[in-house]
Structure 1
């Protein structure tokens, strides 16, 4: 039986990634060990893991995570209020597949899409 999933996506710089997720997206660091080249963050009931990839070219990074929420409108508004850059093609929209979604890019060009069933 499967019980959970924790995506692992690339990062170039641990400090920059940590700052973005903790200070801008309000995640918390998961665990108390400082793993060389690895970072784990969590918010509510989700975790995202990062592995160091210093040579990553953000223009060629296709890392993507889809995160479900039960308050898409409130989350979107808080992103706007906190001046989090919304992806140019990812403003809050109702999609034909029954989801209301928006997207942001992290410092390494990993796409984070937030969605709620409608």
Structure 2
């Protein structure tokens, strides 16, 4: 296995987290009383139980880098997550970003922001 890092994110309720992320392809890898691991292909997210977590005060975030960000975005939308500027969960559309890559955002039920980024190198030709 190659070296890698995995985000550790809060979950107030593991059953809710499994149902939410399962709606767009994440499957259960591991679960005990305090830890949950979900995977979608090579993507892996780990969750710790945090029943007192307040989504409106969340500062948790992570980046999800995929080859086809549009397909992931569509799958999340088809699972019932809507585009809006407030509330949990919510989506922000995929767009070309100032740093040269295409990206969108998912804010999950816990207020965690997942930055959905299309794989590829940013276009840095303008900064040279």
Number of aligned pairs?
114
8 Å CA contact retained: 2:63, 2:117 = yes
Please name the residue that 1:10 is paired with. 10
TM-score, L = length of structure 2: 0.79
8 Å CA contact retained: 2:11, 2:47 = yes
Please name the residue that 1:49 is paired with. 46
8 Å CA contact retained: 1:87, 1:105 = no
8 Å CA contact retained: 1:86, 1:104 = no
Larger Rg, first or second structure (1 or 2): 2
CA distance in structure 1 between the aligned counterparts of 2:83 and 2:28, rounded to whole angstroms? 23
Q: Residue 45 of structure 1: CA displacement?
A: 0.7
In the alignment, structure 2 segments of 5+ residues that lack a partner are 86-90, 123-128
Q: Residue 78 of structure 1: CA displacement?
A: 2.6
Please name the residue that 2:32 is paired with. 35
In the alignment, structure 1 segments of 5+ residues that lack a partner are none
Change (3 A) 1:48 1:87: farther
Which of 59, 63, 71 is the equivalent residue of 2:60? 63
CA distance in structure 2 between the aligned counterparts of 1:56 and 1:7, rounded to whole angstroms? 17
8 Å CA contact retained: 1:104, 1:111 = yes
Higher normalized contact order (CA 8 Å, seq sep 6+, divided by chain length): 1
